[in-house]
Structure 1
Amino acid sequence: MPLTIDIPSLAALPAAAAQLRDALGQHSIILFEGEMGAGKTTLIKALCESMGVQDDISSPTFSLVNEYRNGRNQPIYHFDFYRIDDPADALRMGALEYFDSGYLCLIEWPSRVETLLPLQRLLVTLEVTAAESRQLLVTEVE
């Protein structure tokens, strides 16, 4: 059953990120969909902070992947596939090894690598509802 999380303002983002963190369950592949500027990276930053990440969290737009460490020193991989034109580019950078690692993979612009994604995953759709408010729809995909 889909979960809806309302974010009425930026001040509510940490609480929404904690709610999202609790909804992840056993999923390691988390997809983030939303229009340009919807706040995917900002949400991922808040989510990682709620997991104890102390690293600088930023968009891996040019590097394609950033690695962070959570509070238990486990890796979290953050992908931004916006600049990928062909899934073969993601293959060459080792995307499948990351996806198969069992560690948390947070993926922006997943539609660009749809053919490479594991079947079981969680989709987080960000909808802009006003200048500073968003609504998240969290759906299991299998």
Structure 2
Amino acid sequence: MDFVINTFSDLEDVAKEIISNSKYKIFTLKGNLGAGKTTLIKYLCKTLECPDNITSPTFSLVNEYLCPTGRIYHFDLYRIKYMEELINIGFYEYIDSDNYCFIEWPDICENELPEHHKILLNLMDQTRHLTFN
């Protein structure tokens, strides 16, 4: 599925479409800095009725949010260089928990993930293009 996002209203609609068409609870998000990965995750969490303040886990590596549908784990793996670093924070327990997991900068762990959805965000001339599979 491909989407063009021009407004926050578009982003809200896209998030609803993604959640309603998802088979899995693990999502990887790729895109350049500033492409809107964290912002999209905010809207995905909003769609899941999460009342928490969604922020980038750049320094903590993972943020945990509570919502009526269960826990949501939000990863930012930009600074991770070795898979051992993820193992040390209990990464496998998170992805095996049957809770939603949103993973930004997933290159280091993609081969370790069970079936999951991939989201690619591109920013071109102030318009965001999103591909979801």
Q: TM-score range by the shorter chain?
A: over 0.9
Partner of 1:37, secondary structure, is: coil
Structure 1, unaligned runs of 5 or more: none
Query: 3-state DSSP class of the match of 2:56?
Result: coil
Question: Deviation digits for residues 39-59 of structure 1, max 9, x if unmatched?
Answer: 000000011011100001001
Which residue pairs with 1:111 in the alignment?
A: 107
Q: Counterpart of 1:35?
A: 32
In the TM superposition, residue 10 of structure 1 has moved relative to its aligned partner by: 2.8
Distance change (3 Å), C-alpha of 1:6 and 1:71:
farther
User: Which residue identity lines up with residue 38 of structure 2 in the other structure?
Assistant: T
TM-score normalised per structure 2: 0.93
Query: 2: CA distance between counterparts of 1:60 and 1:88?
Result: 18
Q: Does 1:62 align with 2:59?
A: yes
Which stretch shifts more, 3-12 or 96-105? 3-12
- Structure 1: 4+ residue segments shifted above 3 A: none
TM-score (norm 1): 0.88
Contact 1:40–1:126, Cα closer than 8 Å, also in 2: yes
CA RMSD of aligned residues (A): 1.2
Q: Report the AA paired with residue 128 of structure 1.
A: L
Identity of aligned residues (%): 39
**Which 5+ residue runs of structure 2 have no aligned equivalent?**
none
**2: distance between equivalents of 1:86 and 1:52?**
34
Alpha-carbon distance in 2 for matches of 1:130, 1:33: 18
1:98 aligns with 2:102: no
Q: Select which of 107, 120, 123 maps to 1:125.
A: 120
Aligned residue in 2 for 1:23? 21
